[in-house]
Amino acid sequence: MSKKTGPDGGPDAGQKPGLLASLQGYVADRSRRSRARLLFQTLAPQDDARVLDLGGGRGLHAARYYGRLTNVWIGDHSRQSLERANRDFGYRTILLEGTTTLPLDDNAFDIIFCSSVIEHVTGPKHEALALFKTDGARFAAEAYSYQKRFADEIRRCATQYFVQTPYRYFPIEVHCWIPLVSLLPTHWQWRVIDLFNKFWPRKQMSPDWALLNERQMRELFPDGEIHREKFLIFTKSLIAVRRGRPVPVATTEHARNASSGP
CATH number, residue 90 = 3.40.50.150
User: Which residues fall within 8 angstroms of residue 74, CB to CB, at 6 or more apart?
Assistant: 52, 53, 56, 57, 59, 62, 81, 82, 85, 86, 91, 92, 93, 94
Q: Tell me the per-residue pLDDT of 237-259, one tens digit each, with 9 for 90 and over.
A: 999 999 975 444 444 344 444 44
Between 3-7, 38-42, 178-182, the lowest mean confidence (pLDDT) is in 3-7
Comparing C-alpha atoms, which of 217, 200, 123, 203 is closest to residue 162? 217
Distance CA 30, CA 24 (A): 10
- Among 71-85, 122-136, 186-200, 248-262, which stretch is predicted with the lowest mean pLDDT? 248-262
Q: For residues 99 and 125, which has the higher predicted lDDT (pLDDT)?
A: 125
52 C-beta neighbours (distance < 10 Å), count: 28
Average confidence (pLDDT) over 141-169: 98
Quick: pLDDT tens for 122-149.
Answer: 999 999 999 999 999 999 999 999 999 9
The per-residue pLDDT of the chain, averaged, comes to 88
Interior angle at CA 54, CA 53 and CA 60, nearest 5: 50
Asked, for residue 36, whether it belongs to a domain, the answer is: yes
From CA 182, how far away is CA 180, in angstroms rounded? 5
When comparing pLDDT for 5 and 163, which is higher?
Answer: 163
Strand partners, 114: 163
Q: Which residue has the higher pLDDT, 257 or 121?
A: 121
- Taking the C-alpha atoms of residue 74 and residue 136, their distance in angstroms, rounded to an integer, is 33
Helix locations, the chain, DSSP H: 19-43, 60-65, 79-89, 125-134, 136-157, 186-196, 214-220, 253-258
Q: Is the pLDDT of residue 213 over 70?
A: yes
Compute the average pLDDT of residues 71-89. Answer: 98
Residue 192 within a domain: no
Count of domains in the chain? 1
The reported pTM is: 0.85
Question: Bridge partners of 112?
Answer: 52, 161
Listed residue (242, 108, 235) closest to 165, CA to CA: 235
Q: Is 129 contained in some domain?
A: no
Is the residue at 134 inside a domain? no
Taking residues 92-119, report their average pLDDT: 95
pLDDT at 22 over 90: no
Comparing 3 with 84, which gets the higher pLDDT? 84
The verdict on residue 195 lying in a domain is no
| 94 backbone dihedrals φ, ψ, rounded to 5° | -130, 120
The C-alpha angle with vertex 102 and arms to 101 and 104, in degrees rounded to 5, equals: 140
Q: Is 183 a domain residue?
A: no
When pLDDT is averaged across residues 217-232 and rounded to a whole number, the result is: 96
Residue 196 forms part of a structural domain: no
Domain-embedded: residue 9: no
pLDDT of residue 252: 39
Residue 14 reports pLDDT greater than 60: no
Q: Which domain holds residue 29?
A: 19-123+147-170+208-258
Between strands 109-115 and 158-166, the pairing is parallel
